[in-house]
Amino acid sequence: MNIHQWTRRAALLLAALTVLLSGCTTYVTTQVTAFSDWSGKDTPRTFAFTRPPDQQSNLELTAYERLVASELVAHAFHEVDSAQARYLVALAYGMRSDMVTVAEPVYYNPWPGPYWGRPLDPWGPWGPYPATYVNQSYPIFTHLLGVRITERATGKEVYNVTARNSGGESSLVRAMPYLVRSALGDFPLANGVVHTVQIPLGSTGGAANDVTVPAAPAPAPGAKAPQ
């Protein structure tokens, strides 16, 4: 088994444990990887989003851009027309589903009844019989967001960050606020940084598992809308 296969299986096993514990889990855990050539000499921090030609009318992408824009504003960025922007921001996103099989214990007790506790019942609530194990399969969903920032004038990439999390949430829309906050919450990260971010459920600006998409900013007087 090569390194890639081992890493993928380990990640899926951890995600399966997350699903099993989802009833008591109160945090969304996201792994963030950043590559940076951010100098810090970047006044003003003006930006515009850029898209491939075939994505110009993508409403899903528009919703995610609004989330990213709100996070960038918190770091002194200001969204402007693309012709005046110092930086161009491009998003990549996706979701993959897998099935993970986990061995779970099954106990047998031939004497059902109240459990009185030790020392009255020395075997515990499941009696003296050891557990058997049954394989259970669970769906695991991996969500991914990439944010790439380039200089408009030169095309030079100055920041590239990826956020990834896995669990039982089947909706990328519901996972996206956690991905965005994890990816950009500590902007700018140093080059080659990999770290883990934990965000409490429901702390993304709305109720748990709900998405609140900020409205698009009003264009400046006389500004031309990006094409």
pLDDT at site 134: 82
Cα 134-135-140 angle, rounded to 5 deg: 145
pLDDT at site 1: 47
In this structure, is residue 146 part of a structural domain?
Answer: yes
Q: What is the mean pLDDT of the chain?
A: 79
In this structure, is residue 75 part of a structural domain?
Answer: yes
pLDDT at site 80: 97
Q: Which domain holds residue 151?
A: 46-100+138-200
HEC states along the chain? CCHHHHHHHHHHHHHHHHHHCCCCCCEEEEEEEEEECCCCCCCCCEEEECCCHHHCCCHHHHHHHHHHHHHHHCCCCEECCCCCCCEEEEEEEEEEEEEEEEEEEECCCCCCCCCCCCCCCCCCCCCCCCCEEEEEEEEEEEEEEEEEEEECCCCCEEEEEEEEEEECCCCHHHHHHHHHHHHHCCCCCCCCEEEEEEEECCCCCCCCCCCCCCCCCCCCCCCCCCC
* The pLDDT of residue 215 is above 80: no
pLDDT tens digits for range 131-148: 688 888 888 999 999 999
pLDDT tens digits for range 14-26: 444 444 334 445 8
CB 30 within 8 A of CB 163: yes
In this structure, is residue 59 part of a structural domain?
Answer: yes
In this structure, is residue 108 part of a structural domain?
Answer: no
The Cα–Cα gap between 203 and 212 comes to 11
Mean of the pLDDT values across residues 56-75?
97
In this structure, is residue 180 part of a structural domain?
Answer: yes
What percent of the chain is modeled with pLDDT above 70? Answer: 66
CATH code of residue 63: 3.30.160.670
* The pLDDT of residue 120 is above 50: yes
In this structure, is residue 129 part of a structural domain?
Answer: no
In this structure, is residue 191 part of a structural domain?
Answer: yes
Report how many domains make up the chain.
1
Q: The pTM is what?
A: 0.69
In this structure, is residue 154 part of a structural domain?
Answer: yes
CB 80 within 8 A of CB 48: yes
| Banded model confidence at residue 99, pLDDT cuts 50, 70, 90 | confident
